[in-house]
Structure 1
Amino acid sequence: MTTDDPAMLLGLSDEALMDRVQRQTFRFFWEGAQASSGLARDRIPAFSHSPEDQVAIGGAGFGVMALIVAAERGWVSRDVAVNRVGEMLEVLLRAERYHGAYPHFMDGRTGASIPFWGKDDAADIVETSLLLQGLLCAREYFDRDEPREVAIRSRISGIWETVEWDWFTRGTDVLFWHWSPRHGWGMNHPIHGWNECLITYLLAASSPTHPIAPEVYHHGYASGPDFLNGKAYHGIELPLGQPYGGPLFFSHYSFCGLDPRGLKDRYADYWDLCVRHVQINREHCVHNPNGHAGYGAECWGITASDDPDGYDAHAPANDNGTISPTAAISSMPYAPHEAMQAMRGFLSRHGTKVWREFGFVDAFSEKRGWFADTFLAIDQGPIVVMIENHRSGLLWNLFMRVPEVREGLRRLGFSSPHLDGSPVA
């Protein structure tokens, strides 16, 4: 598949353009995958100091979801997709794990852990939860009574049931992000919301073997200075989260599988929360209080990404002039007109500076005259998945069908149309 000319893409209908963007971005997870395992590489090209075979565990979860989209839309055959998932599981099953949890990075050839930085060299339950979000979708999707698909389901259940979520509470009412056999709990990072970790708490509460008590969610995640908000930004009230909502990936990562439509608990209506978060992020770019070059209705979206100085968790309150295409495009379900406007704006204004062999580059800064040459698994994945959720609800419907997830949502006090059989709008 060649890289389409941006001018040609601009002549497509919205539906056809979404399909082209998804398909081009999927190449990151297909052609760009780590060769021996099929798992998603952390980034392409790799950092000069990173092993070439470095796999991102959370990114691998998004890669599994992207593969499901590809099989459903016929970009690859189901048979080929089954083979690729089987290859992934071979490595995941022999990989180093710590009380069932995977590290942030691992070697895709051997399954050996690769340190992220400092004391973060082993268990990472947030990355593990993003992987499992994808694997559980695959367990639902590959549902045929055929030996290879039966084996996929069995192997995924084995991985899922091994994670000792309750152990990561340290006997308290909060989950801790990291653990290392060399450094113990040295990272000392309790997970408080609002952030990308709703999926972590949900899966921890859903575990059939090592579940956390509901109190861990209510006393741990639903606490801290960045959970309840209630203030208005650009005239838009934000129920939960840090000032201005934080990076947009907060409204993407957990909701690649977890369907926010009609999802509610005692704290928020999560569809409404995500829509407001996106609106605030976009309004910040339209109002452009810092006077950054290029910002506007056709160029918005601030989230964690590469930037001219390295990598940062960009947000309206931490805005250095870097726009990340994944931020706006992965918001397609929440703001379809505005996301499409940004997608077309990126193509028309910047062309091949931002559109390349694996879709949109990770980020750019007109202010600095800088355009990334990198693609990151954790940014490319949500583009494929969230566009698909907007188009068909595919991943949302698969994940919300998982029996353990449905039970976990009930245990935590959530309501959802998926739980009572109502139509999901």
Structure 2
Amino acid sequence: MDPLASTPPRNLWRRHDFQLLLGGRLISQLGDQLQSLALPLLVVALTGSSTQAGIVLGLQTVVYLVFGLVAGALVDHWDRKTTMIWCEIGRGSLTATVPIAAASGVLGMPQLYAIAVLNGVLSTLFGAANSSALPNIVTKTDLPSALGAIGAMSNTVRIVGASVAGVAYALGRMVPFAFNAVSFLASAAALRAIRADFQQERATATASPRRLLADIGHGQSWLWRKPVIRTLALLDAGDSLRYGAGYLLIIMLAQDLHANPTQVGIVFTGAAIGALLGSLLVPVLTRRFPLGTLSITMLWVEALTFPFYALAPTWWLLLVVAFAESVVSPVYNVALDSYRLSVTPDALRGRVTSAIDTLTSGAAAIGTIASGALIALLGAPTLTLVLSGWLTFLALTATLSRTVRTASATD
């Protein structure tokens, strides 16, 4: 029997600690979304260069890929709650320097580049500690429901956030940055009020460079010995490669159908609504179906749905395809994350989570970087069919893998 489905989940919404964790996360995410729109617009206003805007946005991903494994090892040594609180205070303080510098007339690109790098470091540490701490705040049985609730609320913020971001920036260029700075401090206060321990008791050791390298190797060695997690992580990285290429691809397909920017935005809103629906279905489906079944089903739904991006004759049918394709991913992601968090020892969670996230983020970054050249070389419709073939290959690999087919209980 699946260890995550042995007993029905209890009502998470009555748990004070989970309410605080979710509330702080959501207000911080809303602040991030406001800033994600304002930052490139601000860079373009300062420099007139879309290239510099892209560099600033890409720095956080680069930092994550370089620093992710180290961050995972560090949060397995450090107190996770304290780490998360100081990361939020640090990010809030850094973000607050933008409106302060703007008001003083000294805001420039060196400051924005420095903030992007430092925020990337703090965000990487925070993310590693956050995902590792969740199983200590809710029970293993409640993990799917907790992750599903977080996903549902995050997707709701994602749907609403785009329009709110536009309004905030219209009120003033610095309004999104000021809001985000406050949101980080609110998140830190919520974390401080949580009573649960964020990690199990264990002996502490000095995180020297040699010890960190040894710990990173230990975490990856443990991960490699777990065939279910290892195989699904590799499949997930393959899917992330397609996902990274898909963003620009869908934009180009929509433009080929003469969609205006508002209509392109609506297509991605449809994807967000599909992801929200999937998040709401998580508790039922993860209790009813084993991980292997969900994994194989998700890959086949993506493989069979993706070609319709190239076949859609109007932009609103692109929206339908985006909606349908996006429903399955949250269910699979929650099932996989719940399983991984439940079987990974608490002392290794930071390293294992960071290793997998670095793998999938790196694959997505490669897909994003390569998509422009591939679209120019092959054309958007042809690349869509190539990626559909790639998804079919991944689905067949999962279907033929006994490790994936039988994944449900223990490694």
Q: Could you say which structure has the larger radius of gyration?
A: 2
- The answer to whether the superposition gives a TM-score over 0.5 is no
Shorter-chain TM-score bucket reads under 0.3
TM-score, normalization by structure 1: 0.22
| Structure with a larger share of its residues in strand | 1
Greater relative CO (CA pairs within 8 A, separation 6+): 2
Hey, which of these two has a bigger chunk of helix by percent? 2
